[in-house]
Structure 1
Amino acid sequence: MFPKPQAKLTPNTLAFESLPLVKPTGFREYDARWMFPDGINLMGVQALGLGIGTLVHEMGVRPEIVTGHDFRGYSSSIKMALVAGMMAAGLKVRDIGLALSPMAYFGQFALDCPCVAMVTASHNDNGWTGVKMGANRPMTFGPEEMGQLRDIVLGGNFKLRGGGSYEFVPDFPARYLADLADRPKIRRKLKVVAACGNGTAGAFAPALLEAIGCEVVSLDCELDHTFPRYNPNPEDMAMLHAIAEAVRESGADVGLGFDGDGDRCGVIDNEGQEIFADKIGVMLARDLSRLHPNARFVVDVKSTGLFASDPELQAQGAVTDYWKTGHSYIKRRVNELGALAGFEKSGHFFFNAPIGRGYDDGLLTAIAVVEMLDRNPDSTMADLYRALPKTWGTPTMSPKCADEVKYGVVDRVIGRIHGMQAAGELLAGQRIADLVTVNGVRVTAEDGTWGLVRASSNKPELVVVVESPVSEERMRAMFKAVDGILRENTEVGAYNQTI
Structure 2
Amino acid sequence: MFPRPKPSLVPNTAAYESEPMVKPTGFREYDARWLFEREINLMGVQALGMGLGTLIHEAGVRPELVTGHDFRGYSASIKNALVVGLMAAGIKVHDIGLALSPMAYFAQFELDVPCVAMVTASHNDNGWTGVKMGMNRPMTFGPDEMSRLKDIVLNAEFKLRDGGSFVFEENFPARYMRDLTDRPKLRNKIRAVVACGNGTAGAFAPAILQALGVEVIPLDCELDHTFPKYNPNPEDMEMLHAMRDAVLEHKADVALGFDGDGDRCGVVDDTGDEIFADKVGVLLARDLSALHPGATFVVDVKSTGLFVTDPVLQANGVKADYWKTGHSYMKRRVNESGALVGFEKSGHYFFNKPVGRGYDDGLVSAIAVLDMLDRNPGKKLSELKDALPKTWSSPTMSPHCADEIKYGVVDQVVKHFQQVAADGGDVAGQKIRDLVTVNGVRVTVEDGSWGLVRASSNKPELVVVVESPVSEQRMHDIFRAVDGVLRTHPEVGAYNQTI
CA–CA distance in 2 between the matches of 1:293 and 1:200? 36
The corresponding residue for 1:134 is 134
TM-superposition CA deviations, 1:22-50 (whole Å, max 9, x none) = 00000000000000010100000000000
- Secondary structure of the 1:492 match is coil
CA–CA distance in 2 between the matches of 1:159 and 1:296? 43
- Secondary structure of the 1:21 match is coil
1:341 equivalenced with 2:341 (yes/no): yes
CA–CA distance in 2 between the matches of 1:313 and 1:90? 50
Of the structure 1 ranges 416-425 and 252-261, higher mean CA displacement relative to structure 2 is found in: 416-425
Alignment map for 1:28-39 (pairs within 5 Å): 28-39=28-39
The corresponding residue for 1:193 is 193
The corresponding residue for 2:230 is 230
TM-superposition CA deviations, 1:126-166 (whole Å, max 9, x none) = 01000000000000000000001000000100000000000
CA–CA distance in 1 between the matches of 2:446 and 2:301? 18
CA–CA distance in 2 between the matches of 1:188 and 1:389? 27
1:395 equivalenced with 2:395 (yes/no): yes
The corresponding residue for 2:415 is 415
The corresponding residue for 1:493 is 493
1:109 equivalenced with 2:109 (yes/no): yes
The corresponding residue for 1:375 is 375
1:452 equivalenced with 2:462 (yes/no): no
User: How far has the Cα of 1:421 moved from its partner?
Assistant: 1.2
Using structure 1 for the length normalisation, give the TM-score.
1.00
> How many matched pairs?
499
The corresponding residue for 1:429 is 429
User: How far has the Cα of 1:354 moved from its partner?
Assistant: 0.7
User: How far has the Cα of 1:102 moved from its partner?
Assistant: 0.1
User: How far has the Cα of 1:420 moved from its partner?
Assistant: 1.1
Read off the aligned partner of 2:243 and give its amino acid letter. Answer: I
The corresponding residue for 2:45 is 45
CA–CA distance in 2 between the matches of 1:423 and 1:325? 28
CA–CA distance in 2 between the matches of 1:229 and 1:458? 22
- Secondary structure of the 1:122 match is coil
- Secondary structure of the 1:444 match is strand
Read off the aligned partner of 2:302 and give its amino acid letter. Answer: K
- Secondary structure of the 2:290 match is helix
The corresponding residue for 2:357 is 357
Alignment map for 1:214-229 (pairs within 5 Å): 214-229=214-229
- Secondary structure of the 1:442 match is strand
The corresponding residue for 1:465 is 465
- Secondary structure of the 2:95 match is strand
TM-superposition CA deviations, 1:413-447 (whole Å, max 9, x none) = 01111111111211101011110000000000000
The corresponding residue for 1:239 is 239
- Secondary structure of the 1:476 match is helix
Using structure 2 for the length normalisation, give the TM-score.
1.00
Q: CA RMSD in A?
A: 0.4
The corresponding residue for 2:68 is 68
Read off the aligned partner of 1:461 and give its amino acid letter. Answer: E
CA–CA distance in 1 between the matches of 2:237 and 2:376? 28
Alignment map for 1:53-64 (pairs within 5 Å): 53-64=53-64
CA–CA distance in 2 between the matches of 1:280 and 1:471? 20
The corresponding residue for 1:144 is 144
Alignment map for 1:259-298 (pairs within 5 Å): 259-298=259-298
TM-superposition CA deviations, 1:77-122 (whole Å, max 9, x none) = 0000000000000000000000000000000000110000000000
User: How far has the Cα of 1:393 moved from its partner?
Assistant: 0.5
CA–CA distance in 1 between the matches of 2:369 and 2:72? 28
Alignment map for 1:58-97 (pairs within 5 Å): 58-97=58-97
- Secondary structure of the 2:21 match is coil
CA–CA distance in 1 between the matches of 2:422 and 2:291? 45
User: How far has the Cα of 1:245 moved from its partner?
Assistant: 0.2
Read off the aligned partner of 2:288 and give its amino acid letter. Answer: L
TM-superposition CA deviations, 1:344-374 (whole Å, max 9, x none) = 0000000001110000000010000000000
- Secondary structure of the 2:465 match is strand
Read off the aligned partner of 1:355 and give its amino acid letter. Answer: V
CA–CA distance in 2 between the matches of 1:452 and 1:174? 41
CA–CA distance in 2 between the matches of 1:295 and 1:37? 47
CA–CA distance in 1 between the matches of 2:254 and 2:340? 24
CA–CA distance in 2 between the matches of 1:186 and 1:211? 10
Read off the aligned partner of 2:390 and give its amino acid letter. Answer: K
User: How far has the Cα of 1:398 moved from its partner?
Assistant: 0.2
- Secondary structure of the 2:106 match is helix
What residue ranges of structure 2 are gaps of 5+ in the alignment? none
CA–CA distance in 2 between the matches of 1:343 and 1:423? 34
TM-superposition CA deviations, 1:210-268 (whole Å, max 9, x none) = 01110000000000111111100000000000000000000100000000000000000
- Secondary structure of the 2:415 match is helix
**% identity of equivalent residues:** 74
What residue ranges of structure 1 are gaps of 5+ in the alignment? none
- Secondary structure of the 2:189 match is coil
Alignment map for 1:239-258 (pairs within 5 Å): 239-258=239-258
- Secondary structure of the 2:51 match is helix
CA–CA distance in 1 between the matches of 2:307 and 2:155? 44
Read off the aligned partner of 1:194 and give its amino acid letter. Answer: V
Read off the aligned partner of 1:177 and give its amino acid letter. Answer: M
Q: Which portions of structure 1, spanning 4 or more consecutive aligned residues, are displaced by more than 6 angstroms?
A: none
User: How far has the Cα of 1:378 moved from its partner?
Assistant: 1.9
CA–CA distance in 1 between the matches of 2:457 and 2:103? 23
User: How far has the Cα of 1:14 moved from its partner?
Assistant: 1.1
- Secondary structure of the 1:464 match is strand
CA–CA distance in 1 between the matches of 2:427 and 2:366? 39
Alignment map for 1:137-216 (pairs within 5 Å): 137-216=137-216
User: How far has the Cα of 1:182 moved from its partner?
Assistant: 1.2
CA–CA distance in 2 between the matches of 1:416 and 1:319? 30
